[in-house]
Structure 1
Amino acid sequence: MNITNLTSRVMLATLNISVWRARRFDTRATQEVEAKHEAKDIGRFNKRLLTDGATSYKEVCAIGNRARALFDSHSLDYDQLGVRLLPTAVYMDVAEKLRALRDHFDAATAQFLADYPRLKDEARVALNGLFDEADYPTEAELRRKFGVRFSVLPFPDASQFGIDLPPDVLHGIREEMDAKVLGAVKTANNDLVGRLYEAVQHFANRLYGEGNVRLDVADKVRELSALLPRLNFSDDPVLTEILAKTQEQLACYTGAQLKDDPLLRLNVAERAMEIEAQMAAFMGGPPPTLTREGDMPMLASASRLRLPCMIES
């Protein structure tokens, strides 16, 4: 693995999403409950500061959740809290979509701020004696509690680390940096394989299970098979093989094809189990048992079948 090449294919990225929590711990209410039940430290009473009718606030939160889901799905685990690895292959797509989501977030926040006086009045009625004006920030304070910030930094490159230290000391620091880079790559690749492993395992279980197969049975595997090769910035050969097998042997089938053909379902499920075992070995875990007894009749010739993929639009 060429570390210098790696540093040009991935970057460090963070996404910070700020939203006012609209909840507040109420000391007085907690004390009243404790006194009524003659108990101490039995819980904490947290007030919801807005009613269920605060749709503009819910919209801000929903957009923030979509931005977080987009960022997490297109980036990989890193060994530093709050920082993830973002492959350059997906940077432009992610940055463009996050900019659009940030614009939606800002517009939704503006709508919520316009609704805020009315929503506070509604909460005053709903909370009755629990309402406390001090729980509610001013509009200026509230505005500062919302935001979406996307940032990137270069991936650490020991060859570019030049400071005024004795050569032997500097050499040791660079070796340590290189070791951390390789460890980060392993963490990222395990994250990538782990996502696929979970999807393929669920896919196989659904195919082996009794009853009708839903039309969406293959959707998650197909979605990941389209995305994950773009996140494979290290070009690890074993990982590349796993992704290719998943694409060629599992993701090429639609739910409709699998629903209508029990023999095809069994064959594809067995292929999924084989790929599961390869992924488990990649992550350093024990391979899964290559049978699913009691769920679907096993056909003696199924493991030798290799049915052609039939892709439908």
Structure 2
Amino acid sequence: MTVSTGRPPTQRTGAADQMRATMCATRVSFTWFGTRKTLSTAQKAQAAESFGAEGDFLSAGKKLLDTKHPRFKAVTSVRNRTRAYWASLSLPYPEPGIRLVRQDTLATFQDQMSVFKEELDEAVAGLDERYAALKVAAEERLGSLYNEADYPASLAGMFDVSWDFPSVEPPSYLQQLNPELYEQECRRVQARFDEAVQMAEQAFIEELSQLVSHLTERLGGHEDGKPKIFRDTAVGNLREFFNRFRALNVRSNDQLDSLVSQCRQVVDGVQPQELRDNGGLRQQVATQLSGVQSVLDGLLVDRPRRRIIRSPK
């Protein structure tokens, strides 16, 4: 999906310049112990034989550890929360693995990432305490497929999170060495930020559309003649979106700003329990949100995903 807007190019350029001046590129990386391993050629051949198949035409693997164990799930939970936090604090950028964070939130970002790293280290230490037992359980479940060589002596150091701040600006030394190439790089970076603005709009509009559509469907729909049940998060998630939009919006799209403001006014001060108890209020909110949704639908048009063609190294 992409955003279809009629905003002036100058507005987009101004937003891109603002984004470039006030935001910082960030990258979050994880080191993660692989819990699945492909079977050896001999093992695949043995497995294929039971099906009367050829080993070369069979893809098979084994699971080294029980990832549903509470200690392993605790480790995975830290990774999921870290990713969610990073996404909530940042905007997309058209380079793989990079997102833009406001410069004035870098200290907060740094502090929270350090907290996540500590939590991950603690969770891994807890998992390592059960590592021997998990290996015994794996040996029982894998039978002859179990191979001690697949397992490190300890899980310490096998899981980690790191973050850095890669430069997305043209290298300053090019200005002296090759001014023409430097100008070319400046244009490339400007185009990247222009695209980042469009990606931010797209992400905001698609998320708002999903949230509004979900709440409208729960408020206006019926099951067995009774109003559908909805969770408090259907309203809470919208309010979280408003806060994130206010913090990250670069004012690139007046129509989007207006829609968000309109939607906020609809749910402002409305509590989930009121919507359950007051049928008239429930219908009023559903009707107003339907109007917002119809405009959002007009802003979304289908388009194949952008293809990035990289030059061969």
Shorter chain as normaliser: what TM range? Answer: 0.7 to 0.9
Matched, 1:214 2:227: no
Alignment CA distance shift 1:120-1:42 (3 Å): same
CA contact (8 A) 1:7 1:156 kept: no
Cα displacement (A) at 1:176: 3.6
Cα displacement (A) at 1:254: 1.9
Residues 231-270 of structure 1 correspond to what in structure 2 (within 5 A)?
Answer: 231-234=248-251, 236-270=253-287
Across the aligned residues of Structure 1 and Structure 2, the Cα RMSD in angstroms comes to 2.9
Matched, 1:25 2:38: yes
Alignment CA distance shift 1:97-1:44 (3 Å): same
Letter in 2 for 1:129: S
Cα deviation 1:22-46 (Å, max 9, x = unaligned): 2222234432231011123664332
In structure 2, C-alpha distance between the alignment counterparts of 1:90 and 1:242, rounded to whole Å:
26
- Seq. identity, %: 21
Cα deviation 1:2-40 (Å, max 9, x = unaligned): 644322321111111222122222234432231011123
Cα displacement (A) at 1:278: 3.4
Question: Which residues of structure 2 form unaligned runs of 5+?
Answer: 1-13, 304-313
Alignment CA distance shift 1:18-1:7 (3 Å): same
Aligned equivalent of 2:204: 192
Aligned equivalent of 2:296: 279
Cα deviation 1:140-182 (Å, max 9, x = unaligned): xx43431111222455379997343345x64444334322211
In structure 2, C-alpha distance between the alignment counterparts of 1:232 and 1:158, rounded to whole Å:
28
Of 243-252 and 66-75, deviating more is 243-252
In structure 1, C-alpha distance between the alignment counterparts of 2:245 and 2:174, rounded to whole Å:
31
What secondary structure is seen at the aligned counterpart in 1 of 2:92? coil
Letter in 1 for 2:286: A
In structure 2, C-alpha distance between the alignment counterparts of 1:274 and 1:201, rounded to whole Å:
11
Letter in 1 for 2:190: D
Question: Which residues of structure 1 form unaligned runs of 5+?
Answer: 287-313
Cα deviation 1:65-112 (Å, max 9, x = unaligned): 111122123222221111112233544443332221211101111222
Letter in 1 for 2:71: S
Residues 1-313 of structure 1 correspond to what in structure 2 (within 5 A)?
Answer: 1=14, 3-27=16-40, 28-40=42-54, 43-51=58-66, 54-88=69-103, 90-139=105-154, 142-154=155-167, 156=169, 162-166=175-179, 170-210=182-222, 211-216=227-232, 217-234=234-251, 236-283=253-300
Letter in 1 for 2:292: I
TM-score after normalising by structure 2: 0.78
CA contact (8 A) 1:7 1:154 kept: no
Aligned residues: 283
Letter in 1 for 2:264: Q
In structure 1, C-alpha distance between the alignment counterparts of 2:173 and 2:194, rounded to whole Å:
16
CA contact (8 A) 1:185 1:234 kept: no
TM-score after normalising by structure 1: 0.78
Alignment CA distance shift 1:202-1:90 (3 Å): farther
CA contact (8 A) 2:168 2:189 kept: no
What secondary structure is seen at the aligned counterpart in 2 of 1:123? helix
The answer to which structure, 1 or 2, has the higher relative contact order (CA under 8 A, 6+ apart) is 2
In structure 2, C-alpha distance between the alignment counterparts of 1:176 and 1:24, rounded to whole Å:
41
In structure 2, C-alpha distance between the alignment counterparts of 1:215 and 1:58, rounded to whole Å:
25
